[in-house]
Structure 1
């Protein structure tokens, strides 16, 4: 693997494998993978401002809104308006969401173990270091392109 195309292929395969592994949750709870991702994200980062923070997951605002409304109807999240800024809506998990989240955590843990099978500790640390740098580079580029877009 020595090209950007190869790296993108890895990302695509990960997404496909992750979506397959999520299918039992999708079927049992009548959720989409995006719904599961939002629950997982909120569980691991605390109550979030719907319009700002969750969109950072890389989903469009429309898809986030659709998923959050579906989760609300299923009783998995509660939405509250910000007292200071009525345009902001905060999302919080209900107790019913924790069963789904436990299953999502298990799937992610098992998938991580599968992906890193046979990879030594030093190589794992190197991979994570490189991924952190790539993530930082992408965040900077997104911020830069967002600044140029609004100018």
Structure 2
């Protein structure tokens, strides 16, 4: 069942709706070119990527700040902070689930799992850096959760191929 709070959070953010709309518009033309042998998977990957970007790169109130970026990058200097924060809240666990479908679909589209993992880890890093800049509070722990989620998705895709 869909939570009305989640629905309102989506409907009340024009930037998020615009990004979702763009994802829908470009999913077919871009997705079919990603992997001609797997057209549906390519389209689904573009839609999923668009939904992840819409959910993670928009904010209701834009507050650009370089100090937020410094704070975010400083989190990587303390490995204990990153590891101790693993799995400590529902939001952190949701970050695992956010990148799992991307890992699964990307690994089904492209046969190089280490390249897929590196690309998705870089995407997670970039998203969190952007969040830190726009005032959403990027977090190094979220990068770890997103990357582990992608890794689980890649693992499922590898098992699926067998």
Calculate the TM-score normalised by the size of structure 1.
Answer: 0.32
Structure with a larger share of its residues in helix: 2
Structure of higher RCO (CA pairs closer than 8 Å, 6+ residues apart) = 2
Structure with a larger share of its residues in strand: 1
Between Structure 1 and Structure 2, whose CA radius of gyration is higher? 1
Calculate the TM-score normalised by the size of structure 2.
Answer: 0.31
